[in-house]
Amino acid sequence: MAMSGGIDSTVAAMLLKEQGYELIGVTYRVYDQIAQACLEKEKGCCSVNAIFEARHMAQELGFEHHILDIRQDFKELVIRDFIDEYLHGHTPNPCVLCNSVIKWGRLIAMADTLGCDHIATGHYARIGRAGGRFFLQKGVDETKDQTYFLWKLTQENLARTLFPLGELTKKEVRQIALRRGYERLSQKSESQEICFIPDNDYRAFLAEHVENYSETFGPGLFVDTSGKPLGRHQGFPNYTIGQRKGLGIALGRPMFVVSIDPLRNEVVLGTREELQGTTFQANHVNLMKYESIPDGLEVTAKIRYRNAGVPALLHPQDGHIRGECQTPVDSITPGQSVVFYEGSDVVGGGILA
């Protein structure tokens, strides 16, 4: 049982325990600097405080608890990728990579070592099965659904996973904690930030962790979509597709970052209409519901976690997928995930090129 010290994983453990499962709790030790930053802010799944809370709850619920040290893997894989993507003009989603490569990979390996049949988490998601394949399904509480961050999970991952909260709403989870006498837990807040950037300032993180950052990635030109110079920016990694606020330039009308050219150190600004697109390319595709998909498969494509998704047609092409959206969408951002749905079922996903 992956335990963060928060309400979701703790209630998930309670439910599995009541269903008769024999549990072993595991909490990740991610990164010492992260832990200290989170501790100073008294929140975050990565804090030392959270590790102690997870251990305390495991002891109170009557099962053993382990701390899984993933600091080196996390630094070499997740943080390195996060930095590299920004330095190439992309906007990464580190949670997607961490879930598949770090959390599930290391957790399943530990489950094998401990002789456990399954792994479980407090994610709001469900698992379906059809045609001999496993696939994700949206959690009942669509406001909390987390399938967008889990699209890279493999068939082996899904076959071993339990999601005890998939059929519950967040309100019901809080009520469960309260009814079992955990009033403080039932009121516990949650962080929406990237775990290793607790202040949500990725720009400061890059400046701190990239050698000679300000000299190497210094000021350049804002240009419009025709290439006309509009002013100076503070270095292309400091901007993301769709950004409107904080540009530091006044043009008399709302302008958005519509593309980034890292080779020329140019940030292209345009109108809302110029920000929109109807086609995308998805690389590093992972299919869940089907082993392969036919040309022209109709899906709902979701390009942001909080995005409702739009109808789209998928066209498999030489290891990637080209998508045609039926209506224009904002901010098709390289580095972000696009996830394909049929109703509540996850067909698969990929990384926007």
Give me the mean pLDDT over the 128-132 stretch: 96
The 10 Å Cβ neighbour count of residue 252 is 5
Q: In the predicted model, what is the mean pLDDT of the chain?
A: 93
pLDDT of the residue at 30: 83
pLDDT of the residue at 188: 86
Output the six-digit token pair for 191: 């962080």
Read off the pLDDT band of 47 (50, 70, 90). Answer: low
**Helix residue spans in 88-201 (DSSP H):** 94-97, 105-114, 155-160, 170-179, 183-186
Q: Among 28-42, 209-223, 232-246, name the one with the lowest average pLDDT.
A: 28-42
Read off the pLDDT band of 44 (50, 70, 90). Answer: very low
Give me the mean pLDDT over the 20-27 stretch: 97
Q: Which of 137, 155, 96 is nearest to 347 (CA)?
A: 137
Full-prediction pTM beyond 0.75?
yes
Q: Which residues are catalytic?
A: 98, 195
Digit-coded pLDDT (tens) for 171-203: 999 999 999 999 999 998 876 678 888 788 999
Read off the pLDDT band of 37 (50, 70, 90). Answer: very low
Q: What number does CATH give the domain 7-122+164-186?
A: 3.40.50.620
Give me the mean pLDDT over the 153-162 stretch: 97
C-alpha separations of 96 from 218, 253, 326, 332 in Å: 29, 35, 26, 17
**240 contacts 91 by C-beta, under 8 angstroms:** yes
Percent of the chain with pLDDT over 70: 95
List the chain domain ranges: 7-122+164-186, 218-270, 275-352
Digit-coded pLDDT (tens) for 262-314: 999 999 999 999 999 999 999 999 999 999 999 999 999 999 998 889 999 99
Determine if residue 11 is left, alpha or beta; phi over 0 gives left, psi from -120 to 50 gives alpha, anything else beta.
Answer: alpha
Alpha-carbon gap, residue 346 to 322, rounded angstroms: 17
Give me the mean pLDDT over the 92-109 stretch: 93
Alpha-carbon gap, residue 241 to 92, rounded angstroms: 11
Give me the mean pLDDT over the 307-327 stretch: 95
CA atoms 284, 70, 105, 301: torsion sign: negative
**DSSP string for residues in 37-90:** HHHHHT--TTSHHHHHHHHHHHHHHT--EEEEE-HHHIIIIIIHHHHHHHHTT-
Q: 275-352 belongs to which CATH class?
A: mainly beta
pLDDT of the residue at 314: 98
Q: Is the pLDDT of residue 156 over 60?
A: yes
Q: Which fold has domain 218-270?
A: SH3 type barrels. (2.30.30)
